[in-house]
Structure 1
């Protein structure tokens, strides 16, 4: 399907996130698991940004990351990092159920903070974060990366410009490899851990509010939370959204995730596939489909949607303005819908929101 642009405005709105940050913003990164390290990689590729400190509760990990990426300071104490006068802003990539403390510490220190999604694992914790942010007045954003993926942004603007017409249904899928289940599913449910990505993006594209949620779970592995989950949402205009997520891909699958989005509407059918078939590597070690969308690693730097997200946040900090791409209320709403889906699966009845 080909789309012809009447002018360049449509394309510019999708691409304008990428621009050089004006002025130096010095970042500290809290949480140095795989994703925290990706934050360091992405931040170091942004013009006008410097990573001046990293923090992990494990001393050896903090030292390792600081050494690998040439960061001059490392901490095991989060409060010391946020109180460091050389740190202008922080990103927080701690475990999903460990978001409240570092965010409140940043807020109390008056430091702008980007918090990885989900903003919390309970609504009570989400509200603690919101209260701290509003009380302090800091610049704050939850990192819902799909809002910075140009493919999803294109669909969003197509919907806003009426190119899709009325949407009938949307289906999103996000399935990770089985080996990731042991990392996540004993701590947090699949809808909260990965489902919030697609719950948020479907709601964003629809431009409508969810009024009813149903959840369905299947369990094939022995973890605290089910490894396959379906969330069915009914919007206030009668349209439907379905999210399938979990951790059941074979570990031999050639990409770390299998995800897609399909939009069925009056004027168009839209599909996004990850991984696509446009980049495959066939080697003596097997087949690989490298990530070229979210955080492709170039030498020691990461690019893609993660870089765009962090660059946008850095620009907001440099300019002293509130991020608009992902309002804090939207991050909470995505979490609420995920939690309601879990309650529905447990009770066997739909939940009205």
Structure 2
């Protein structure tokens, strides 16, 4: 098995999670990391014996010894790093979103085809067993003709102290459910209406609501708010050790049945005198000292498609580009207070 040399751009909490998973995969070697935080670079190098450190991600990209670039940096840098990496003939994994503009997303898709490299976006929910099970139920016609999908995804308010200055929530949180909705409806979106509100006073709104209409007449709604109280039950208590909650639900309504999944209330709970925990056990669990769950399945799948030089049948880049088109329309609709036709 040929060794794949990997460079990671961005070694914050999630970048280090990627690093741990990729180190577990056979034939993969993390040879370089890039970040603007020099002290963090040195710490991660010491803990993981990484050979090369870069404070300029473009220098990492230009290294001819690197086969794969894994982009786990801030959302607004995804597009430019991915475009540059593809131009240098690298296979690219991009943590969601693919970019923060539809124009960049389209360029990434076109360049990937021209350069014959594999590009995949980290739409992790597609690799989470409950969401994948819903997809299977739809494909097997257990629900009949789908009429409506309803989704929500709420986050802890204290997290917005960071994200509210960084990115519109449709690209950070909403993109998960836009991707799932696209996966389930399997049809182009033709109409978008959205509204938003800025409660906390940051650069970006902390809540938005949208209704989407698809070519096959399915109607989908998505609500997202970063207002979950600190005293709410915590569910991100394993691996990442985040102090907070992702409260996500999705419901699919068909002519013969319905399917729904609630991420924040799996049935498992821990009650103590200090707190109530609902540990999330599908996304990135620690299993026998290794990182498992959807994050492991996702990155394993990417390494497999790179080795086989074939496009992903689970998370094709076209869907990520389409999700960006819808995300941009949501932002435009909320700003202009009108329906956007796609």
Q: Work out whether the TM-score is over 0.5.
A: yes
Q: Which residues of 2 match residues 182-221 of structure 1 at below 5 A?
A: 182-221=161-200
Q: Which residue of 1 aligns with 2:331?
A: 342
Counterpart pick for 1:120 among 82, 87, 99:
99
Structure 2 residues not aligned, in runs of 5+: 236-244
- Relative to structure 1, is the Cα distance of residues 305 and 331 closer, same or farther in structure 2, using a 3 angstrom cutoff? same
State the alpha-carbon separation in 2 of the partners of residues 249 and 220 from structure 1: 13
1:103 correspondence with 2:82: yes
Q: Is the 8 A contact 1:112 1:139 kept in 2?
A: yes
- What TM-score do you get using the length of structure 2 for normalisation? 0.90
Q: Is the 8 A contact 2:79 2:100 kept in 1?
A: no
1:317-341 per-position Cα deviation (integer Å, ceiling 9, x unaligned): 1222222322222111111111111
Q: Which residues of 2 match residues 42-191 of structure 1 at below 5 A?
A: 42-191=21-170
Shift of 1:251: 2.3
SS at match of 1:226: coil
Counterpart pick for 2:306 among 280, 297, 317:
317
Aligned residues: 332
Counterpart pick for 2:261 among 272, 284, 291:
272
1:124-151 per-position Cα deviation (integer Å, ceiling 9, x unaligned): 2223333433332221111111111121
State the alpha-carbon separation in 2 of the partners of residues 309 and 47 from structure 1: 15
- Relative to structure 1, is the Cα distance of residues 300 and 251 closer, same or farther in structure 2, using a 3 angstrom cutoff? farther
Q: Which residues of 2 match residues 3-42 of structure 1 at below 5 A?
A: 23-42=2-21
State the alpha-carbon separation in 1 of the partners of residues 329 and 113 from structure 2: 25
Tell me the C-alpha RMSD between the 2 structures: 1.9
Q: Which residue of 1 aligns with 2:279?
A: 290
Shift of 1:85: 4.4
Q: Is the 8 A contact 1:194 1:246 kept in 2?
A: no
